[in-house]
Amino acid sequence: MLFLTVLLVCAAAGAQSKDAGARESRIPVQGAGLYCREVGRGTPVIVLHGGPDFDIAYLLPELDRLSEKFHLIYYDQRGRGRSADRVKPEDVMLESEMTDLDEVRQHFHLDKVVLLGHSWGTVLALEYALRHPERVSRLVLMDPAPASSADINRFREERVEKWPVLMELRKAIADTTAYRQGDPDAVVAYYRVHFKPALARSEDYEKLITRMQARFIEQGKEGILKSRAVEDRLVNETWASPNGYDLTPKLKNLTIPTLIITGDHDFFPFAAEHIAQAIPGARLATLKDCGHFPYLECPVPLREQIDAFFRDR
């Protein structure tokens, strides 16, 4: 087991360090320091990772392919990954996420910026664009998470209907002491079940799970539990809010050029459709034989859609 642990951690580190042009730094913000990774030159793009309990590790190295034309600015969101030091979960909220994102923009002296969000990161991108439309030049929403409580509830209901055995197994894992205590092996087992329906091909699925396993081992129990506590806070403030959560009415007033990308094997494609219907002039692209991780599963058509979006507008 020790040999496997070392092997996985080293493999993940090696994958992320392949690009010698990547630049790492730390952006000071109130109460934290945000780990930042840059690569490429050209149009600046701030990348917002998913989760909310993940960090940028699962996006690498495949998303770096965009660095041929873009200056990609990744950062681990507050309380997660390499931005977890000195952060208390109770200090993380939607407003602090917005403040941190704006601090990243200002750090790089950007009047306007492209936001590229994946999954949960699309919720942050939309929230920021609604607050500061004058600071966002374009939105690229990759396999967006639901923008309303209604859609997240629909996702949960459909998931049980479509994959009842998987959902029972996932619940059984979540109920174990090992999972509750943040044991990396139990967490990997949980996400192995969770993401099973979300990718079109088994080889991509295994690659993703291996990467996540290495990251969870590196984080350890303390990091896993802190990320999970942050996720709980953000979910309770949005999708699980007692007042309801729905960005859709506000999105109808958004005039920022927007590209929405989903896969025909994504497990909530309706979320992308509803966001596309709400934003005036938004472009929706559904990639064939692709799931929730298009940068990993179908990088060529993903790149074609992004290039066309920047070329045509």
CATH, residue 38: 3.40.50.1820
Return the exposure string of 193-210: e unless at least 16 CB atoms fall within 10 Å of the residue's CB, then b: bbbbbbbbeeebbebbbe
pLDDT attached to residue 313? 60
Does the pLDDT of residue 52 top 90, yes or no? yes
Q: Name the β-bridge partners of 260.
A: 141, 284
CA distance 179 to 301: 37
What is the model's pLDDT at position 312? Answer: 76
Range of the domain at 101: 2-312
Average pLDDT, the chain: 92
- Whether residue 18 is predicted with pLDDT greater than 50 in this model: the reply is no
**Range 152-163 average pLDDT:** 94
pLDDT of residue 288: 96
Q: What pLDDT does 249 receive?
A: 96
pLDDT band at 21 (very low <50, low <70, confident <90, very high): confident
Mean pLDDT in residue range 205-225: 95
Task: Kindly state the average pLDDT of the residues 24-29.
Answer: 95
Q: Is the pLDDT of residue 2 over 70?
A: no
Convert the pLDDT of each residue in 248-303 to its tens digit. Answer: 999 999 999 999 999 999 988 899 999 999 999 999 999 999 999 999 999 999 99
112-124 pLDDT per residue, tens: 999 999 999 999 9
The reported pLDDT for the residue numbered 170 is 97
The number of distinct structural domains making up the chain is 1
Report percent pLDDT > 90 for the chain. 90
Q: Residue 16: its pLDDT value, please?
A: 41
Q: What is the pLDDT of residue 156?
A: 94
What's the pLDDT tens digit per position in 53-101?
999 999 999 999 999 999 999 999 999 999 999 999 999 999 999 999 9
- What percentage of the chain has pLDDT greater than the value 70? 93
The DSSP line for the chain is -HHHHHHHHHHHHHHHT--TT-EEEEEEETTEEEEEEEE--SEEEEEE--TTT--GGGGTTGGGGGGGTEEEEEEPPTTSGGG-TT--GGG--HHHHHHHHHHHHHHTT-SSEEEEEETHHHHHHHHHHHH-GGGEEEEEEESPPPSBHHHHHHHHHHHHHH-HHHHHHHHHHHTSHHHHTT-HHHHHHHHHHHTGGG-S-HHHHHHHHHHHHHHHHHHHHHHHHHHHHHHHHHHHHTTT-TT--B-HHHHTT--S-EEEEEETT-S-HHHHHHHHHHSTT-EEEEETT--S-HHHH-HHHHHHHHHHHHHH-
The residue-averaged pLDDT of 147-151 equals 96
Average pLDDT over residues 40-62: 96
pLDDT band at 111 (very low <50, low <70, confident <90, very high): very high
What is residue 20's predicted lDDT score, i.e. its pLDDT? 54
